[in-house]
Chain A
């Protein structure tokens, strides 16, 4: 330890302590008188610090007390890492000059005795009946807080230790006596006892302790380089006299049960809507002239406010269970296989394929989640979608656009083919069975209210019986969407997909005949429904609107109907009230159309 010199006796440090008047305080008046002459010269100091057979017990005790204080003040050198003073001293060749340099740089305030520093005197515990003293010199802190059960016995042992000791005038006794006179016992911080200190109070206490340590800097350079940072010079300031007794034992109950800070605000229970980055996709900048100019229809999502969600305000969708989802997956696979060209499939491939479908959707969902979670701040919604398409292998979404186009054009083509087929061939075979099958399909597409009306009012008794027989015979719907579709949703979406199913479901019949019967039935239904016009809803109007305005008789003249795409208004979406009114007029007076 460089502050004690090479010989370890610390003569320079002792001289510096003497200049600060610390020895008198530490040893007491009577003891100081016998000690002070040892500081006159290095040789006297060396003789004082030397221990041999001739040294008396009292001198050894005195030496121990001096060593304790010297060691305590010199320990600051152990904690210096890159102090500039130390670095300069290490490079110096002269040992005495290095120690003198270190000592001279010490802060006088640091050399003073403070009540929060405990200097164990290295004396044996055999003399006192109290607690054993610490044999190793250490700069430990003891708590002087009143009310703590760890403190008062210790303090009592301290005072007890020196009660019968010859060194009565110890610094601690004097300090405590003086402290008792000037200030009553007070806890270091807070009004509560240390064991009841809250975590916040503990934090404040630790901050105060840190501030206190910073004020007690060891070297004068630290004061000016900012380590002291309070502008204090070496003199004792009012702040240093502030009684601050650091605690040595931090009781466990100051550790909070939860790392989260306690909140006192009232919990707001109202639901907060969270908008994800993909919730507000950009709206269409260009409006389709077909939709607007011809039909006056505006897509539903364009009606929403900018940035609003498309589905907000709608009724909540039905949630599928696991079993329902797997069942729907199998039906979807069956339809896809049919669309591709398969005529059948065994059970195992359908099961495997449906699981493959679900896994693929889940995989796409995971990709979307990863992209949105990681890039929602850096990228916009469109960029995220582009990234998603790239990860899915559709960086050029032309293939998807082609699929959509093909799907839409196929529907139009099929409808047109139906029209032509009906014009050319009229073969009334299997009328009743097919009519009932189609009626079953149509009624399932209708609104339940209208369906009830159809059942009760407009169908003849025979037709009703046949319908019931069909219902009993075919409980499952051929179209998976119909089961899962919400009742409020327009069912015309299903209708668009269904026309291809009719030939599949009735393989024994002529597909062209089936289409013809479908048209016939629709005409009949329309006449029946005209009486219920006032009670119908918009959905039903949309369903009826694309009816072919023709009067086809069994053996009559076939008039060429106007080319019309079935369900065109449903393709475009929106309200078709205006269109429906025109259609109604056409229906009631078919002779006017050509």
Chain B
């Protein structure tokens, strides 16, 4: 009985913590606007007029996207750090951190999203082949 009471108390504390967290969402404006979140939530069939829930989704998405972006930043920095020393002077001007598709695809792959692009596009199956083998 005591254990049940303790678990009930713990659950009540969790509920109150979650309620306070939801209340704090009203004091914070996520980067993602509420209208945008509502638009995509409505597309998926969910509609809730409560702003706290909209902001909860916005904050969760913001956190998720920020994690992906920070991973991409790490990849970008690692890519720049791996530049050969003698080439550093030439690329001194390009030390700006610019997000490329390469960095993004590497970070998204960790989250199970494959955005790898084709390395090149060929107009026929024999493009790029040796002429001798092409004749065959």
Q: B residues touching A (Cβ–Cβ < 8 Å)? A: 14-16, 18-29, 31-53, 56-57, 59-66, 68-70, 72-73, 76, 96-101, 103-104, 108, 113, 115
Contacts and interface: CB of A to CB of B under 8 A. Distances in A.
A359 to B, nearest CB: 9
A345 interface: yes
Interface of A: 276, 278-286, 299-301, 309-312, 317-320, 325, 328-329, 332-333, 335-337, 339-346, 348-350, 352-353, 356-358, 360-366, 368-369, 372, 382, 385-386, 389, 392, 394, 397, 399-401, 403-404, 407-408, 480-481, 484-485, 493, 496-497, 571-573
Given A340-B69, A365-B43, A493-B29, A404 B20 contact: no
Given A328-B35, A403-B63, A481-B33, 14 more contacts: A279-B48, A309-B49, A310-B52, A311-B50, A320-B36, A337-B99, A341-B70, A342-B97, A348-B101, A353-B104, A360-B65, A364-B57, A365-B43, A385-B56
Contact of B51 (A282, A310, A342): A310
13 contacts: A276-B47, A311-B49, A320-B36, A325-B40, A349-B104, A353-B104, A357-B65, A360-B65, A361-B36, A363-B44, A366-B44, A399-B63, A404-B28
A332 to B, nearest CB: 5
Given A339-B66, A344-B98, A382-B18, A317 B35 contact: yes
Contacts, number: 213
Contact of A408 (B27, B36, B50, B69): B27
A332 B33 contact: yes
B33 A484 contact: yes
Contacts of B100: 345-346, 349
A319 B39 contact: yes
Contacts of B25: 404
Contact of B33 (A328, A364, A404): A328
A360 B29 contact: no
Given A279-B50, A309-B50, A349-B104, A400 B115 contact: no
Tell me the interface secondary structure of chain A in the complex. Answer: helix
B13 to A, nearest CB: 11
B52 A281 contact: yes
Contacts of A336: 31, 62, 65-66, 69
